[in-house]
Structure 1
Amino acid sequence: MYESHKVSAIVTCAGRGVRFGSNKLLVKLAGVTVLEKTVREFIHPAIDEVIVTVSEEYHDTYREILVEQAKLPVTLVRGGEERFISAKLGLDATSGSIVMVHDGVRPFVNAELIDRALEAGVTHGAAMLGTPTVVQLKLVDDDEYVTGSLDRSHSWLGQTPQVFRRDLLEEAYAKALESGYTRVSDDADLVAEFTGHKVKIIHGEDYNIKITTRTDLVIADQIMAQGDWG
């Protein structure tokens, strides 16, 4: 519980790892899979239930790692083709009035970041972590010609956890499904677009990386070696 709210966490692990080339959730960092390392952080005093969305292909493997071996008190739910559909299926299995959604391939989340996101989510109704960008982001057209640049003073790199009132997520998912939404996005975009509710962004940490490419895995090994992320 957090300030009388029942809190549910959804860790999305139903991705296929296309860009990585293999299942990055099964990669080990210091002897522990990315999957277990990420999910374990959500066994947190303020979180009442943890749902892990998984693909059909890896359901049994993930259950063995998380439930049978690690003995974590989590529920596995089969996900869908799109990330937000997986998250919706996860939401359907929860009962909290506050819902936290996190990418399974962000293994350096910790209690401090969870607390930070949860406080902002309860205060604002919708919140996410992020960091101001230090690079210039280019806008391009479908033929990959530059059409402009984003103003760095107003550009952030999004992170998770993202935290929402349950009713906002339910409305956003329902309207996204009804509209045939297919863009690659996150829950913050869905809530802002389909409910009109503003999403507060608060400072995350540079170490809270998402493992998408093999270069990210090299960075992850360096973060683990430094030991200053949690």
Structure 2
Amino acid sequence: MKMRERKRCTAIILAAGQGKRMGTAVQKQYIELDGKPLIYYPLKVFQDSDLIDEIILVAGSGQVSYVQDEIVRKYHFSKVSVVTEGGKERYDSVWRGLKAMRREGAGLEEEQGYVFIHDGARPFVDEAIIKRGYESVKKHKACVAGMPSKDTVKLIDENDFAVKTPERKYVWIVQTPQIFEEALIVEAYSRLAEQECIHVTDDAMVVEEMMGTAVKLYEGSYENIKITTPEDLKIAIAFLKSR
């Protein structure tokens, strides 16, 4: 697909998390899966995608040089235009990624494009998910990958007693990438940056809360898991073997 036939697509890949729940000395994004660091796998998918024009990689504190040398250059990720340092919280890292993207594009006479925000700890994103997301964001301006919950979900009170059971057909497990029109997500995070009390857990919530914009869910994959605990790592190894 030629660039003039569509809007510019930028992927912001988040790899700044500490991964404390993994319980390893190595941060989870650098844990090896089949001889390659975890972050390699999502980067490879976005690198190879015909839809993605550039990648902004958000690394942990003090890790920019390491990531540039041992990840970007080593594996020839030519679409990575910027490696920037993340912040304390996820939303800090996303905001820094957005600002790095806009600095990189300064002076370019291009129409506003789309931004794909993806967790670097989700190694099994694939081209089909990216394409479904692109078609969705064209129609809805804001969308997130997800899958219907396989389990019944309970809402609880402060004492861990169940207070409500939502109908399962209305419950989705949210994933990434989360995709937005560039102007929309930049303005949402700009407003968020001015807030003193911030309680957001994903990019969709920022757009919902700051802009009042409805966010469409589109089909991700049950394999598009986030590696957070040692148990997740075992599942990831099984997925890799099956492929």
TM-score using structure 1 length: 0.93
Instruction: Name the counterpart of 2:228.
Output: 212
Displacement of 1:181 in angstroms is 4.3
Distance 1:2 1:122, change over 3 A: farther
User: How many percent of aligned residue pairs carry the same amino acid?
Assistant: 34
Distance 1:123 1:2, change over 3 A: farther
Give distance in 2, aligned partners of 1:131 and 1:186.
16
The aligned runs of 1:214-229 (5 Å cut-off) are 214-227=230-243
Note if 1:179 corresponds to 2:209: no
Instruction: Name the counterpart of 2:109.
Output: none
Instruction: Name the counterpart of 1:62.
Output: 67
Listed as ranges, the gaps of 5+ residues in structure 1 are none
Amino acid at match of 2:172: W
Q: Is the 8 A contact 1:124 1:199 kept in 2?
A: yes
Listed as ranges, the gaps of 5+ residues in structure 2 are 106-111
- Stretches (4+) displaced over 4 A: none
Amino acid at match of 1:12: L
Deviations 1:39-78 (A, max 9, x none): 1111122211100111123323222222231121212011
Secondary structure of the structure 2 residue equivalent to 1:121? helix
Q: Is the 8 A contact 2:62 2:85 kept in 1?
A: no
Residue range with higher mean Cα deviation, 55-64 or 130-139 = 55-64
Secondary structure of the structure 2 residue equivalent to 1:89? helix
Paired residues in the alignment total 227
Secondary structure of the structure 1 residue equivalent to 2:39? helix
Q: Is the 8 A contact 2:146 2:219 kept in 1?
A: yes
Residue range with higher mean Cα deviation, 7-16 or 134-143 = 134-143
Displacement of 1:7 in angstroms is 1.0
Displacement of 1:222 in angstroms is 0.6
Deviations 1:100-149 (A, max 9, x none): 10000000111111111111112210011110001122222334333222
Over the aligned positions, Cα root-mean-square deviation in angstroms equals 1.6
Note if 1:48 corresponds to 2:53: yes
Residue 42 (structure 2) aligned to one of 38, 41, 47: 38
TM-score using structure 2 length: 0.88
Secondary structure of the structure 2 residue equivalent to 1:205? coil
